[in-house]
Amino acid sequence: MSEKTIAQINDDLLRPVLRTSARFWIAVLVLGAVVAAAAGAVSYQMWNGIGVWGINRPVFWAFDITNFVFWIGISHAGTLISAILRLANAPWRRPVTRCAEVITVFALMIGGMFPIIHLGRPWLFFWMVPYPSERGIWPQFRSPLAWDFFAINTYLTGSLIFLFYPIIPDFALVRDKVTGWRKKLYTVLSLGWRGTPRQWHRLESAMHIMAIVIIPVAVSVHTIVSWDFAMAPVPMWHSTIFGPYFVAGAIFSGIAGLIIAMAFLRKVLRLEEYLQPAHFDSLGKLLLMMCLVWVYFVFAERLTVWYGNESAEMAVFWTTQRGPFAPLFWTMVICNFVIPFPLLAIKRFRTTITGVVIASWTVVIGMWLERFLIIVPSLSHKYLPYTYGSYRPTWVEITILVGANAAMGLLYILFSKFVPIISIWELKVGAHKPVVVHKQVSVVRTLPAVADDGLRTTDT
């Protein structure tokens, strides 16, 4: 890849933007049909009321909230990973960062939709928005649901801006390569970018600041999502461990989602030369680490509950260990640890893209089950046994779940049609020779080599 010229890099990475393949249309049609089916299911629910869902007393939170937590978790893939890799100046990040940042934006959009769908009467969602009204209805700022509103919107705004910054120079590049209406469009989108040193310095400063700011925002968002549960006196919810537990799970599922998205793009857009096995190997190592962190949190949570032996909590505990939810619980353990751990720990498997992608798929499935198992067993076993209930999803909820996944794929593929999915200018920076300069002296010294890990040694 390093032997490619700038013109070849431009050609390869602009190809998906400039040319539309049959694969693209097939993918759009298939994914679009599934999304349309999900939109039909939402419309059906709006027309007939929330009775078409499987929720009933005492389980009032189920698929929609599971999907909400799951997608907010997936959103951690992008901005957080990208920001950490940027701050660490990891050289292998360059083809990965934009793929990751895009996931955040779309996952937040999809995740943020679920509480609105869950309202049952989504047209009243604006009641969550703080604005002066003659009804005197104001948001309850003590409620974690109101915190969600602020946290998710801050994260979405920050992630959109964080995604947009490095796209500006690439919009300028596309502007120079297209004609007609597309030239006008990209001229507007590139904001008149030319690439003067002043513009580059400001852009890099802004990206650096954003990378610092967005990390605590990302952590706070999933912590606040966890507080939706932890602030409630519900068995196995009211726990101080929930914040970090949710954040760890979010990063775990986020990395898995990123790996799947990269493998998808690699195939559909023919980016094999840019998204190489080494990138999957590096992300696989991160996934392995998070796999172990996840096991630690699950064990810590379960051990504390079991040791405390409080009757209401033990009812939930046993229903997941050996009761009606046990098949889902043990499937989750298999998906989140038993399968991915050996695939990621053994180098022979991790260095193959197939191995890492299989591990990622199981993690995504396992993490969705984890979110479901946090919510439904606790609600179905609240304190007094006479209130115990259960939950079974209907076709409406299942269709919406499948449609949300298809929406992610559809948005992703549409995005890659309008924006180079790999940051071209950042890739070029990685390709050209590194140099050092002594201030106030116009002598440029070229370094002999850059180590594989990107660290430079200078001899002044």
Partner 1 sequence: MQALYALYSDPDSAQQAVDALRSSNGSASVDNDLRDHIAVISSEPFDGYDFFHRDHKTIMPWIAAAGGLVGGVCGFLFAAYTQAVYPIPTSGMPIVPLYADGVITYELTMLGAVLATLFTLLLTARLPNWKRKLYDPEISDGKILVGVIDPPDSARAVIADALRGAGAGQVKEFSL
Check binding of 187 to partner 1 (CB under 8 A): yes
CB-nearer residue toward partner 1: 197 or 453 = 197
Binding marks (x or -) toward partner 1, 409..428, rule CB under 8 A?
Answer: ----------------x--x
Dist CA 249 CA 346 (whole Å): 22
Q: Which stretch binds partner 1 (CB under 8 A): 101-109, 143-151, 258-266, 359-367?
A: 143-151
Check binding of 177 to partner 1 (CB under 8 A): yes
Residue 233: Cβ-neighbour burial (10 angstroms; 0-12, 13-18, 19+): exposed
Could you tell me if 290 and 252 are in contact, meaning their C-beta atoms sit under 8 angstroms apart? yes
CB-nearer residue toward partner 1: 135 or 348 = 135
Could you tell me if 363 and 338 are in contact, meaning their C-beta atoms sit under 8 angstroms apart? no
Which residues on adjacent β-strands are paired with residue 446?
Answer: 435
* Number of other residues whose CB lies within 10 A of the CB of residue 289: 14
From candidates 194, 309, 386, 451, binder to partner 1 by CB under 8 A? 194
In the complex, minimum distance from the CB of residue 58 to partner 1, in angstroms, rounded to a whole number: 21
In the complex, minimum distance from the CB of residue 50 to partner 1, in angstroms, rounded to a whole number: 26
In the complex, minimum distance from the CB of residue 148 to partner 1, in angstroms, rounded to a whole number: 10
Check binding of 15 to partner 1 (CB under 8 A): no
From candidates 441, 449, 451, 455, binder to partner 1 by CB under 8 A? 441
Dist CA 383 CA 173 (whole Å): 61
CB-nearer residue toward partner 1: 10 or 45 = 10
Check binding of 88 to partner 1 (CB under 8 A): no
Check binding of 142 to partner 1 (CB under 8 A): yes
Check binding of 141 to partner 1 (CB under 8 A): yes
CB-nearer residue toward partner 1: 188 or 278 = 188
The SS3 of residue 158 is helix
CB-nearer residue toward partner 1: 221 or 265 = 221
Tokens 């898995």 found at: 256
Handedness of CA 379, 384, 390, 391 (dihedral sign): negative
Dist CA 273 CA 64 (whole Å): 39
Handedness of CA 249, 255, 259, 262 (dihedral sign): positive
CB-nearer residue toward partner 1: 19 or 194 = 194
From candidates 58, 158, 366, 377, binder to partner 1 by CB under 8 A? 158
From candidates 123, 197, 348, 451, binder to partner 1 by CB under 8 A? 197
From candidates 56, 154, 321, 394, binder to partner 1 by CB under 8 A? 154
The tokens for 228 are 């939706």
Which residues on adjacent β-strands are paired with residue 435?
Answer: 446
> Cα torsion at 156, 161, 164, 165 (round to 10°)?
-150
Count of residues in contact with partner 1, rule CB under 8 A: 67
In the complex, minimum distance from the CB of residue 321 to partner 1, in angstroms, rounded to a whole number: 33
In the complex, minimum distance from the CB of residue 304 to partner 1, in angstroms, rounded to a whole number: 23
Long-range contacts formed by 426-432: CB under 8 A, 24+ apart: 426/94, 426/97, 426/166, 427/9, 427/13, 427/94, 427/95, 427/274, 428/6, 428/9, 429/94, 430/91, 430/94, 431/2, 431/4, 431/6, 431/9
From candidates 140, 304, 354, 387, binder to partner 1 by CB under 8 A? 140
Cα-based distances in Å from 68 to 73, 213, 232, 238: 8, 24, 18, 19
Check binding of 176 to partner 1 (CB under 8 A): yes
CB-nearer residue toward partner 1: 169 or 409 = 169
Could you tell me if 422 and 20 are in contact, meaning their C-beta atoms sit under 8 angstroms apart? no
Contacting partner 1 within 201-220 (CB under 8 A): 201-206, 209-210, 213-214, 216-217, 220
In the complex, minimum distance from the CB of residue 348 to partner 1, in angstroms, rounded to a whole number: 37
Q: Which stretch binds partner 1 (CB under 8 A): 185-193, 258-266, 355-363, 372-380?
A: 185-193
Could you tell me if 113 and 192 are in contact, meaning their C-beta atoms sit under 8 angstroms apart? no
DSSP letters of 180-224?
HHHHHHHHHHTTT----HHHHHHHHHHHHHHHHHHHHHHHHHHHH
From candidates 33, 36, 121, 192, binder to partner 1 by CB under 8 A? 192
Residues that bind partner 1 (CB under 8 A): 5-7, 10, 130, 136, 138-142, 146-147, 150-151, 153-154, 157-158, 161, 165, 168-169, 172-173, 176-177, 187-188, 191-206, 209-210, 213-214, 216-217, 220, 224, 425, 428-429, 432, 434-437, 439, 441-444, 446
